[in-house]
Amino acid sequence: MRTERVPLLTGAAAVLVAAALFLAPNARAAAPPAENSPAHAPVHVTSDARSVEVAGGDVIWSDIGSACRTSFNAASGSAHYILMPGHCTDGTTQWYADSARTVPIGPTVGSAFPGNDYGLVRYDNPEVFPVGTANGVDITGAGNAYVGQTVMTRSSSTGTHSGTVTAVNQTVDFGGGDVVSGLIRTNLCNEPVTGGPGPATSGSMAIGIPVGGSGSCSTGMTTYYQPVTEALAAYGLTIY
């Protein structure tokens, strides 16, 4: 199988290069977003001003200053977790709901990258609550991608985009020895935004955790996702 080489989708800032590949700083070295960034606002403030809610596709911040978009909320018994890209959780220990890092969510409790690209953050703060939505849709389960499947993603910066799955079980080389296998390839528009792109969903089903891609929304893109079912199985979780 041919190995594709593309940049990672992550970090607090990103640029479009001349070759039409997009690249954002790796979460291990990303800077915090600017104060006027749309992601600087709190995630979701509930009617109780002390509490916030976190949904799939929201931006959260790590103890090393990086911003990353959540993918899906998941659960095991009474414990709740956030599924994240592994290249975001790699090297982090704690995550926050605000860019000032005053509202803790909980610790990184799992990280797989390279080889795979998924990570796990546990909700430890009783004032922060998981919401069972992603891309603005109520998520009722997780599914395996198939060629021709319609998928969507959404960000606060670029809106909602639809596309299709063009291949599965793909291997991608991100450079520096970072190779990830078993990925979903799509033609979803996912140009760089603060915190990286959102997850891939199909109707009410969770499909993929964003990994990397190339191109632009105007000329066409190739975007890769880690199958969410693989991450759920690895950690023994169910979609929340």
Over residues 205-224, the pLDDT tens digits come to 999 999 988 888 888 889 99
State the amino acid at position 41 in one-letter form. Answer: A
Tokens 């809106």 sit at which residue?
Answer: 159
Question: Residue 51, Cα to own-chain centre: how many angstroms?
Answer: 23
SS3 (DSSP) at 173: strand
pLDDT at 44: 54
Read off the pTM: 0.81
Tokens 């190995």 sit at which residue?
Answer: 3
Q: What is the pLDDT along the chain (240 residues), one digit of tens a residue?
A: 445 656 555 432 222 222 222 323 233 322 222 322 333 334 554 444 458 999 999 999 999 999 999 999 999 999 999 999 999 999 999 999 999 999 999 999 999 999 999 999 999 999 999 999 999 999 999 999 999 999 999 866 667 889 999 999 999 998 888 999 999 999 998 766 678 888 999 999 999 999 988 888 888 889 999 999 999 999 999 999
Q: Which residues have CB under 8 Å from 224's CB, separation 6+?
A: 4, 6, 170, 172, 180, 183, 184, 185, 186, 210, 211, 212, 213
Domains of the chain are: 3-25+136-229 (2.40.10.10), 38-131 (2.40.10.10)
pLDDT at 177: 87
Closest CA to 226 of 177, 180, 178, 174: 180
